[in-house]
Structure 1
């Protein structure tokens, strides 16, 4: 829980009473490797802060192939924000790539924080903007880059994830086959 509080305090001030309120609205949850946190076709009813482990945001294309959009590791939030905020069916799946320990807020709990803590929405807005900018900065180098460059950029941007995530998911994230990724990895060692 302290990791969550430290993270939130990077984006704004919370007094001791507000911190206690945040803690009362949060629930620690464990996800086993392969377990879904949220599923496409359903409304996202919770938002997760990853304390330990890696989640993957993915979807299925029209051929039924699982496509990895991105990974969420420690000290980051995971949610389909549009589904969560607007109560519409999600288009994505959020699944544990490793065993995970997450802190979860329900929609109602999150709403209570928004209605009770004056600067809560500002803090969440700053976190959302930071997250979106990070995604844009990670996506731009992938555009037009060859597979080897995309993999090298992945290693540079996510040095702690490469050995924690199965090759097949990294390959999907990079938009290449697992066989191609194996060949690339063999050639750069």
Structure 2
């Protein structure tokens, strides 16, 4: 819980009463490796913040192959939908790669926090803007790079993930085969 509060305070100020309200609405949960935080086709009813572990967003392409879209590591907010009132039914899966700990809020409680704390929406806008900027930068670079450059870039941007994520997921994220990734890793050692 403290990790979540510390994270939020990087984007705005909250007083003790506001922090106590947030804490009173939160629940801490654990996911084990391969557990789903959400599944494609099932409505998401909560907002989460990952305090420990790594999650993977994946989907199946038209050939039935599982594709890794991206990874979520510690200190990331997991929003669902564009607005709090929107029923969000994802077309992707969000699953635990490692054992994970999350702070979660029901959409109802999240909305109450938003309606009660002046400036909450501004804090969230700053967080969302940061995430979108990071995501766009990550994806646009992947398009213009070859496999080796993508892998080296991945190591640079996600140094803590390289030993925590199975190589098959990294290869999928990079858009290359696992055997290509093995060759790339062998050649850069």
TM-score range, shorter chain: over 0.9
What CA deviation, in whole Å up to 9, does each residue of 1:12-65 have, x standing for no partner? 111100000101111100000000000111111112111110001111111111
Q: Which runs of 5+ in 1 are unaligned?
A: none
Q: What's 2:21 paired with?
A: 21
Between 1:1-10 and 1:55-64, the stretch displaced more is 55-64
In the alignment, the residues of structure 2 paired with residue 37 and residue 155 of structure 1 have an alpha-carbon distance, to the nearest angstrom, of: 26
What CA deviation, in whole Å up to 9, does each residue of 1:95-114 have, x standing for no partner? 00100011111111111111
In structure 2, the CA distance between the partners of 1:157 and 1:132, relative to structure 1 (3 Å rule), is same
Structure 1 moving runs of 4+ over 6 Å: none
In the alignment, the residues of structure 1 paired with residue 84 and residue 40 of structure 2 have an alpha-carbon distance, to the nearest angstrom, of: 12
Q: What's 1:176 paired with?
A: 176
In the alignment, the residues of structure 1 paired with residue 140 and residue 84 of structure 2 have an alpha-carbon distance, to the nearest angstrom, of: 27
Q: What's 2:64 paired with?
A: 64
In the alignment, the residues of structure 2 paired with residue 115 and residue 82 of structure 1 have an alpha-carbon distance, to the nearest angstrom, of: 17
Residue aligned with 1:143, SS: helix
What CA deviation, in whole Å up to 9, does each residue of 1:57-87 have, x standing for no partner? 1111111111111111011112443486520
User: Is the Cα contact below 8 Å between 2:49 and 2:102 reproduced in 1?
Assistant: yes
In the alignment, the residues of structure 2 paired with residue 80 and residue 145 of structure 1 have an alpha-carbon distance, to the nearest angstrom, of: 30
User: Is the Cα contact below 8 Å between 2:33 and 2:97 reproduced in 1?
Assistant: yes
Query: Root-mean-square deviation (CA), in Å?
Result: 1.3
What TM-score results when the alignment is normalised by the length of structure 1?
A: 0.96
In the alignment, the residues of structure 1 paired with residue 25 and residue 94 of structure 2 have an alpha-carbon distance, to the nearest angstrom, of: 21
Between 1:88-97 and 1:160-169, the stretch displaced more is 88-97
Q: What's 1:111 paired with?
A: 111
Q: How does 1:24-35 map to 2 (within 5 A)?
A: 24-35=24-35
What TM-score results when the alignment is normalised by the length of structure 2?
A: 0.96
Q: Is 1:155 the counterpart of 2:155 in the alignment? A: yes
Q: What's 1:133 paired with?
A: 133
In the alignment, the residues of structure 2 paired with residue 46 and residue 60 of structure 1 have an alpha-carbon distance, to the nearest angstrom, of: 23
In the alignment, the residues of structure 1 paired with residue 98 and residue 5 of structure 2 have an alpha-carbon distance, to the nearest angstrom, of: 23
